[in-house]
Structure 1
Amino acid sequence: MLSAVRRLTLSLALSVCFTLPAAARAPVLGETANQQTRYIATYFPGRMTGSPAEMLSADYLRQQFAQWGYQSDIRAFHSRYVYTTENKHANWHNVTGSTVIAAHEGKEPQQIIIMAHLDTYAPQSDNDVDNNLGGLTLQGVDDNAAGLGVLLELAQRLKAVPTRYGIRFIATSGEEEGKLGAENVLKRMSEKEKKNTLLVINLDNLVVGDRLYFNSGQSTPAAVRKLTRDRALAIAHQHGIPAATNPGLNPRYPQGTGCCNDAEVFDKAGIPVLSVEATNWSLGKKDGYQQRAKSKAFPDGNSWHNVRLDNQQYLDEALPGRIEKRSRDVMRVMLPLVKELAKAGK
């Protein structure tokens, strides 16, 4: 249940309708994802866990799911993270995050979870503040409005598609503070629900990186990797979309696996995962954190949490057409893949 303060914040802000106008024609693949990405980044910057922008973005997502006929709700969770001052003093920061869940029912109890985190980076030290990392003005296009855009388009296109297995769409919060929302989702799952979860697909950082990567979890069985990661790569290559999987050049991250996002929580619990991201696992420390070659536009080879870089205007200038293209490319892979995995009917 939302607290009285959170309910008041939402009721005041929702006097404005945060819904996109209905299109007069059926959008082409990726168009809805692109529109949703830009809308979320524009109207909900600073989506830090527990902030008014985060709560409003969560309710916007709930409205979108409801508009398409989904039963959707917002689950609040309480957690905390450490903030470090300039003199190295660590303080606990309490937060109440918002997770949005919408369910597509299948004919059987097994399910596939599709996730994307809705929060943007909250400064976790005085050093972060000094370096303009995170905060109220961070649009978070790459991290992670684009992931939400694809999540929403998948939900829209799959709503009327009958499937053998259920699909649960989840927008988590608290990812930037240590995957807090994903941990809460896992904690609330019963043992039966965990057993019935065939796969968790995580969408994160889809824009800035050199190419798309499809990575499995370390605990994902080989047979499942073939049906998920390898199948995703095959679909991408059929469409001429540059895509790869982690080559395993860093011993901390074995070949074909990802790291450091919400999927990791489920991987550690023994649930099969597929991480979808855009980066470059062959550069820098070979840990996926250097998304592209260093350049004048991206001095560190990434846009992580940077207010100046991770916004629409900058990305449209530095990488013209990239947001639209990645929205389309990811949808071209993920829509047929999810239909296959969920055993969609005609």
Structure 2
Amino acid sequence: MFSALRRAALVAALGVCFSSQTWAAPSTPKPGAVASQHARYLATVFPGRMTGSPAEMLAADYVNQQFSRMGYQSDIRELDIHYPYRHAARQVDWQHVKGHMVIAGKKAASPYQIIVMAHLDTFAPQNDSDTRNNLGGLTYQGLDDNAAGVGVMLELAERLRDVPTDYTVRFIASSGEEEGRFGSINYVEKMSARDRVNTLLVINLDNLIVGDKLYFNSGKSTPAAVVKLTRDRALAIAAHKGIRAATSPGLNAKYPKGTGCCNDAESFDQYGVPVLTVEATNWSLGKHDGYQQVARSKAFPDGNAWHNPKLDNIAHIDSALPGRVEKRSRDVVNVLLPLITELAQSKRQ
């Protein structure tokens, strides 16, 4: 029943939204500039944004203030999160923390909505191996994972705030992603069945900087018609603007061509809500599962910067990948801004 209702909703809502209309970005500041500024601020001022930490709480307050300043209705949702810390001796210590996620939106008359989200939290050690290898922790800036994603979301909100839309545009800075997508699961499970049907698309921003390529992927349950109107449209916009972008090549049987994995979008995908994941990695390297971001080098010995305070920080990324933060932020904004505008203004086409 859900799929039938969604197909009907999508035909009505998105069927003609991709005309030849072009979207004119504001002349100043340049696309991506605001996003990179937010990303650098979050990474510098709020390192160690582990779920339930003071840094996460303060970062959530910062993001909430930004949305409120823009004129959005914005609130912080607290949620109880319990996750295991596993010792080498098979002993398990359960961590009980209170996560903080920010939910903002611009309400429209239509019941349909588009969600843009990025996780606010950084990696917390979850076993003795993580601790020995100094993964995550209080000094971890998490510029790539995922201050940059939050920064892009904030810039998109800034540029969309005065754009008339026919559908509600909602923004979520989620919590608990690193421990198992707790925030996104909490959000989708609290949605009514009708709200899920009326959610035309969830766009998830995660790990936008370090990877070789920018990828746009759909969910395994996203209908083919929606894939064409969202993922394929994003790739077409990127090509038109000369932005290098791709979709998962499907070299690993566990991850079908054109689909993503293992981020907050998966929570919605499991409920049949259409998703579009935006990430930077290299699905052609390693185990072809998206976890190897770049070729192994002195700068990135394991081919990624995942959860490593020495690698996923401003100084190292600026040195190893000069100009990448600003360029990738600009590229993502330049693709998603016209895409979201077209989707949210579909009745006007």
Q: Fold-level match, TM-score > 0.5? A: yes
Q: How far did residue 45 of structure 1 move?
A: 0.3
Question: Which secondary structure state, in structure 1, belongs to the residue aligned with residue 118 of structure 2?
Answer: strand
Supply the AA of the counterpart residue of 1:209: G
Q: Report whether the alignment pairs 1:330 with 2:338.
A: no
* Aligned residue in 2 for 1:121: 123
Alignment of 1:292-311 (within 5 A): 292-311=294-313
Alignment of 1:259-278 (within 5 A): 259-278=261-280
Q: How far did residue 343 of structure 1 move?
A: 1.3
User: Retained in 2: the 8 A contact 1:41–1:145?
Assistant: yes
Mapped partners of 1:97, 1:58: distance in 2: 10
Q: How far did residue 321 of structure 1 move?
A: 0.3
* Aligned residue in 1 for 2:9: none
Q: How far did residue 194 of structure 1 move?
A: 1.0
* Aligned residue in 1 for 2:23: none
* Aligned residue in 1 for 2:98: 96
Runs of 4+ in 1 over 3 A off after TM superposition: none
* Aligned residue in 1 for 2:228: 226
Supply the AA of the counterpart residue of 2:182: L
* Aligned residue in 2 for 1:107: 109
Which of these residues, 205, 208, 211, is aligned with residue 206 of structure 1? 208
Question: Which secondary structure state, in structure 2, belongs to the residue aligned with residue 41 of structure 1?
Answer: helix
User: Retained in 2: the 8 A contact 1:106–1:162?
Assistant: no
Mapped partners of 2:229, 2:101: distance in 1: 28
Aligned length: 322
Q: How far did residue 222 of structure 1 move?
A: 0.4
* Aligned residue in 1 for 2:168: 166
With normalisation by structure 2, the TM-score equals: 0.91
User: Retained in 2: the 8 A contact 1:246–1:257?
Assistant: yes
Which of these residues, 276, 279, 282, is aligned with residue 280 of structure 1? 282
Q: How far did residue 85 of structure 1 move?
A: 1.5
Mapped partners of 1:188, 1:53: distance in 2: 26
Superimposed CA distance per residue, residues 31-53 of structure 1 (whole angstroms, 9 cap, x where no aligned partner): 10010000010000000000000
User: Retained in 2: the 8 A contact 1:164–1:343?
Assistant: yes
User: Retained in 2: the 8 A contact 1:50–1:96?
Assistant: yes
Mapped partners of 1:72, 1:173: distance in 2: 15
Mapped partners of 1:33, 1:268: distance in 2: 29
Alignment of 1:121-270 (within 5 A): 121-270=123-272
Mapped partners of 1:237, 1:88: distance in 2: 50
Question: Which secondary structure state, in structure 1, belongs to the residue aligned with residue 230 of structure 2?
Answer: helix
Alignment of 1:70-81 (within 5 A): 70-81=72-83
Equivalent pairs: percent with the same residue?
66
Mapped partners of 2:170, 2:334: distance in 1: 20
* Aligned residue in 2 for 1:21: none
User: Retained in 2: the 8 A contact 1:106–1:163?
Assistant: yes
With normalisation by structure 1, the TM-score equals: 0.91
- Indicate the larger mover: 237-246 or 139-148: 237-246
Q: How far did residue 187 of structure 1 move?
A: 1.6
Q: Say which structure, 1 or 2, has more relative contact order (CA 8 Å, 6+ apart).
A: 2
The root-mean-square deviation of aligned C-alpha atoms, in Å, is 1.1
Alignment of 1:6-17 (within 5 A): none
Return 5+ residue gaps in structure 2 as ranges.
Answer: 1-26
User: Retained in 2: the 8 A contact 1:107–1:163?
Assistant: no
Return 5+ residue gaps in structure 1 as ranges.
Answer: 1-24
Which of these residues, 49, 52, 73, is aligned with residue 50 of structure 1? 52
Question: Which secondary structure state, in structure 1, belongs to the residue aligned with residue 336 of structure 2?
Answer: helix
Q: How far did residue 127 of structure 1 move?
A: 1.2
